[in-house]
Structure 1
Amino acid sequence: MRMQQVSSHNIELPIHLYAKTIARCLIVAVICLTLAGVLSAYFLLTEFSFPASKWFYDLFSLDEELNIPAWYSAFSLLFCSGLLKTITAIKTEDRYFSQWKILYFIFLYLSFDEAFSFHEILIIPSVREWLHLNPIFYQTWVIPGAILLVFFAFKYLKFWLHLPHKTRYLFLIAAVVYVSGTLGMEMVGGLLREDFGRLSLITLIGIVVEEFLEMAGIVIFIYALLAYLSSLRTNLQLKIYISEN
């Protein structure tokens, strides 16, 4: 009996990632989500005067969780984590290997936090009232967040200075834009809620600005990571094995 021979073939499917093209697509997505967020805020102000306005608000509000903008931010942070993991795999012999690896885990956590809002656990109204905190600390999580940010900046200063000039510059811009949204506008938002109320026009504008800065900062960081990877001149091979069992 002749036995059937199974031939093995290596098939190459080259995938080219263009940093600028990806960044442009993400910028368009951010602009569209921001405009949808503005429209959802308008529906909130008008008390959902249109039949489908409440549905639209739940789907695109920038101040709600588990909707399209939140999932977009979560997946974009996860993409950052994947890029950092790739750099970590390349930098195994680098003196700053551990810093790249920690960054990978940080963005992995940020992705899950964006999706499931773990930081909300640190919002404790009783602590805010007991300590008579300033309204800028309305969201009490910003206090440990600011402390961790200062600690992170101190620990990563040498790592940042070691980066190529372009990457260092882009990392700084991304960090400033992102932190301005996550911490800066979150603290400003506390003041606006205290003075004008949650459903005021100026408070909703602050929320839109906050979320736009967060999403824009992530786009800049993604572009910075892709550009840095391209500068390494390293070919990455992804092998997929499929078996019947």
Structure 2
Amino acid sequence: MKKVLGILLVIGVLAVVPLLVSAAEPLIMGTTDRVTELSFANSYDHFSWHVLRATTDALMKLDDETLELKGAIAESWDISADGMVYTFHIRPGITFWDGAACDAAAVKWSLDRTIRLDGPEGGVGLIKGVIDHIEVVDDLTVKIFLTQADAIFLLRMSQELAPALIYSPKTTPADDFAKGVYAGTGPYKLVEYVPDQYVKYEAYDGYYGKAPKTKDVIEKMYSDAAALRAAIEAGDVDFIFRTLSP
């Protein structure tokens, strides 16, 4: 029987789990949450965004320990004196799971696509009215021009706040919401998603950051707290996200 690790009430579950355990078998999480739609431009609910954030990155991110902003896909950045132009320098050598390079052109394509599609269920408004246009300077440099100076723009470019995640132009359809068809930069690859049943992940061996200790992760979705309790009591899951009925 699998060892129960306990109730883990965190936002970035996959960011924490690999640090806790190194397992030969898949690490299985149970939850009563649901994925509504795996779309960068048309979903902004917690669990859908949890899956997307576990499988790709944005230009910026919050440090897990200090919660200070730091570069993710961006290695460094410059801000113009008037605060209207942000120049991001992309880390060299980053690739998507499909083998395509994560370069300045991919950054521009991703942000332009998300803003253009602007689905009714997404949070695109957090960046759409702020970004005027984007220019590729060279392979690893992109400039983002704002409509007005914005004190929290770097935070908007992080995976924690706004739909500013970067994904592959090679795999992701350009003109529809995609709904799970995409390639990201890791730390995990999306292996399989069955609506209302489970999400399967595999560690991306090309990830530019610290490699996860847990190679395979499965997140099972249960109908209610009673079903989730039964699953953990039966040893069908290793830990849970959300609370159980008393």
Same fold? TM cut 0.5: no
Bigger share in helix: 1
TM-score bracket relative to the smaller structure: under 0.3
Report the structure, 1 or 2, having the larger strand content.
Answer: 2
- Greater length-normalized contact order (CA 8 Å, ≥ 6 residues apart): 2
User: Taking structure 1 as the reference length, what is the TM-score of the superposition?
Assistant: 0.27
In our comparison, the structure showing a higher alpha carbon Rg is 1
